[in-house]
Amino acid sequence: MRRVWEHRYVERLRFTDVVVVILAVALAQYIRFGEIEITVATKSMISYATVSVGLAAVWIAFLAIFRTRSPHVIGSGAEEYRRIVSATFRLFGVIAIASLLFRVDFARLYLAIALPVGLLGLLLSRWGWRRSVAARRRRGEYQTAVLIVGSRRAAVSMAQQFERSPEAGYSVVGMCLPGYEPQRDSVLVEGYEIPVLGDEHSVVEALEASGADTVAVTATEHLGDKGIRKMIWDLEKKNVDLVVAPGVVDVAGPRLVMRPVAGFPLIHVEKPQYNGATRFSKTSFDLLFAFAVLVVISPILLMVALAVKFTSRGPVFYRSERMGIDGKPFEMIKFRSMVQDADEQVDKLLVQNESAGGVLFKMREDPRVTKVGKFMRKFSIDELPQFLNVLKREMSVVGPRPPLRREVETYNGEVRRRLLVKPGITGLWQVSGRSDLSWEETVRLDLSYVENWSMVGDLLIIGKTVRAVAGSNGAY
């Protein structure tokens, strides 16, 4: 059952958190002092051994206070990491304020070592546990059995999203839909038949029949206020979780704020922040990250450039017009992976386009790709020069897929929101299937990124990109 594995998983997280914090504090004391009995300059001298024990205990307490091991955030999403970062920085902020107020002279190097080492260790340990959980979920373990309640269309859409993200661990075991017909009703989702166990008023009976431990409600207009209130009261006795889809497509995270107004719990949707401090922080990260990557991979860039130059005629780099932020054109730089006159052959190959939407041009076996180019594309090596575009502030490390002019000319008002931010070297489209995605799915992922982007989300995407590239899935 979910409660059993969740409890065990939380206990393992608690154990690794304690180990990481103790090791970080002990390492900081050892590097800074090398001895145990070092004292802090206060009116009554205190040894740093005592300080280290106290710091570790308070750090662990802060992780608990900020609910970094809450079952509602562990295992997926950026919230778990955000809470760990918030708890750690607030703890050290409190220490800094306390040292000023009480005139305690802490060794700065001691804290400067403990903070980054402990924070990095906590984040890496959670990442490692997540990989383990995701692997188990793909094998059908660590599942949360879900009963979906709502209109047929909304319920099917929700079930499809759960099915496409097995690492989330949500397994739909039944539905309650308006217009339920006994002995006849079922829904086919991604090749799986999901039983319909009643209408929107039969949730309690459906729970007993399906064994679900979570009820997901979507499109609540059939239930009404009284129906939802009654469902909440009924589920309180069953020890079953209730989640409600707000009905705002691809808007999530910090943009959704619950505000009680006149006795009603209203969800306020904040406007996406593309300017000011958020844009400055993203640009600063892009420039620093791109510069660091280019320095590290410079030997690889040189070897690839020589391979391209000596295996086929034409320039080393391929420059292609792309549309950037606000629809401004720029030249995107890539290693040339095709023959020299590849662009002139597009019209002849359009009839073989494998893109489902028809807007993009994709061919799994493109005759224009060179042998070296095929290898580069498999591992996205041809994309590496785009870090130069990042330094030129034309692209971001993470963002929507950079579109062609002919693609932008087909955009409607909704799709044009992709142009509100800079295109990225990687993005949700890169870590969710790459070239295997349909046009509609690519657009949905890009719009989701534009609506909800955050620095923590960018870091998660970068980490997933490394795995996607190493696996070479969907690359051709």
Is 414 among the domain residues?
A: yes
Q: What are the tokens at 7?
A: 């409890």
C-alpha 245/C-alpha 234 separation (Å) is: 19
Choose between 363 and 154: higher pLDDT: 154
Q: What are the tokens at 78?
A: 């950026």
Are residues 155 and 121 located together in one domain of the fold? no
Q: What are the tokens at 97?
A: 């304020």
Are residues 169 and 120 located together in one domain of the fold? no
The confidence score (pLDDT) of residue 354 equals 54
Residue 438's CB is within 10 A of a number of other CB atoms, namely: 13
Instruction: Indicate whether 450 pLDDT > 80.
Output: no
pLDDT band at 363 (very low <50, low <70, confident <90, very high): low
| Range list of H helices, 265-370 | 277-311, 346-349
Q: What are the tokens at 177?
A: 């839909």
The confidence score (pLDDT) of residue 38 equals 47
Amino acid at 134: A
Range of the domain at 122: 2-138
Is 430 among the domain residues?
A: yes
pLDDT band at 5 (very low <50, low <70, confident <90, very high): confident
Boundary residue ending a domain (138, 161, 176): 138
pLDDT band at 143 (very low <50, low <70, confident <90, very high): confident
List Cα–Cα distances, 59 to 16, 17, 19, 88, 423, in angstroms: 13, 10, 12, 7, 39
Instruction: Indicate whether 147 pLDDT > 80.
Output: yes
Domain count along the chain: 3
In this prediction the pTM is: 0.64
The confidence score (pLDDT) of residue 125 equals 95
Are residues 286 and 401 located together in one domain of the fold? yes
- Contact present, 438 and 475 (Cβ < 8 Å): no
Is 262 among the domain residues?
A: no
The confidence score (pLDDT) of residue 177 equals 87
Question: Mean per-residue pLDDT for 316-335?
Answer: 91
Are residues 453 and 320 located together in one domain of the fold? yes
Amino acid at 68: T
Tell me which residue of 425, 247, 346, 385 sits closest to 434, measured CA to CA. 425
Maximum pairwise Cα distance, the chain: 84
Instruction: Indicate whether 272 pLDDT > 70.
Output: no
In tens, the pLDDT along 8-35 reads 899 999 999 999 999 999 898 888 876 5
* CATH code assigned at 160: 3.40.50.20
Residue 194, strand partner residues = 187
Choose between 295 and 52: higher pLDDT: 295
The confidence score (pLDDT) of residue 468 equals 72
The confidence score (pLDDT) of residue 434 equals 55
Is 253 among the domain residues?
A: no
pLDDT band at 373 (very low <50, low <70, confident <90, very high): confident
Is 14 among the domain residues?
A: yes
Distant-in-sequence, close-in-space partners of 209: CB < 8 Å, separation ≥ 6: 174, 197
Are residues 129 and 156 located together in one domain of the fold? no
Are residues 114 and 178 located together in one domain of the fold? no
Amino acid at 339: V
The confidence score (pLDDT) of residue 126 equals 94
Tally of CA atoms within 13 A in the half-sphere of 465 that contains its CB = 20
Instruction: Indicate whether 435 pLDDT > 70.
Output: no
Q: What are the tokens at 377?
A: 């594309």
Choose between 41 and 242: higher pLDDT: 242
Distant-in-sequence, close-in-space partners of 468: CB < 8 Å, separation ≥ 6: 430, 431, 434, 474
Rounded to a whole number of angstroms, the distance between the first and last alpha carbons of the chain is 41
The confidence score (pLDDT) of residue 263 equals 57
Are residues 287 and 398 located together in one domain of the fold? yes
Choose between 450 and 213: higher pLDDT: 213
Of 1-5, 19-23, 228-232, 455-459, the poorest mean pLDDT is in 1-5
Distant-in-sequence, close-in-space partners of 286: CB < 8 Å, separation ≥ 6: 390, 393, 396, 397
Are residues 126 and 154 located together in one domain of the fold? no
Are residues 334 and 442 located together in one domain of the fold? yes
| Range list of H helices, 139-178 | 152-164
Are residues 358 and 216 located together in one domain of the fold? no
Interior CA angle at 251 toward 262 and 199, to 5°?
A: 75
In tens, the pLDDT along 93-112 reads 888 888 788 776 667 788 88
The confidence score (pLDDT) of residue 74 equals 85
Are residues 29 and 168 located together in one domain of the fold? no
C-alpha 322/C-alpha 401 separation (Å) is: 10
C-alpha 156/C-alpha 281 separation (Å) is: 39
Q: What are the tokens at 82?
A: 């955000």
Are residues 357 and 450 located together in one domain of the fold? yes
Report residue 151: phi and psi, to 5°: -65, 155
State the chain's mean pLDDT as an integer. Answer: 80
| Range list of H helices, 180-236 | 203-210, 224-236
Question: Mean per-residue pLDDT for 437-446?
Answer: 72
Instruction: Indicate whether 431 pLDDT > 80.
Output: no
pLDDT band at 266 (very low <50, low <70, confident <90, very high): low
The confidence score (pLDDT) of residue 41 equals 46
Secondary structure of residue 172 in the 3-state scheme: strand
Angle between the N-to-C axes of helices 48-65 and 2-32, in degrees from 0 to 180, rounded to the nearest 10: 150
Is 259 among the domain residues?
A: no
In tens, the pLDDT along 157-194 reads 888 888 877 777 888 989 988 877 765 677 887 778 88
Tell me which residue of 433, 454, 450 sits closest to 442, measured CA to CA. 433
Q: What are the tokens at 211?
A: 């064994």
Q: What are the tokens at 362?
A: 């994709």
C-alpha 402/C-alpha 169 separation (Å) is: 32
Boundary residue ending a domain (121, 138, 155): 138
| Portion of the chain with pLDDT greater than 70, in percent | 79
The confidence score (pLDDT) of residue 352 equals 60
In tens, the pLDDT along 393-412 reads 999 999 888 888 888 888 77
Instruction: Indicate whether 135 pLDDT > 90.
Output: no
C-alpha 357/C-alpha 345 separation (Å) is: 21
C-alpha 235/C-alpha 241 separation (Å) is: 8
Identify the burial level of 283 via C-beta atoms within 10 angstroms of its C-beta, where 0-12 means exposed, 13-18 middle and 19 or more buried: middle
Give the H or E element holding residue 170: strand 170-176
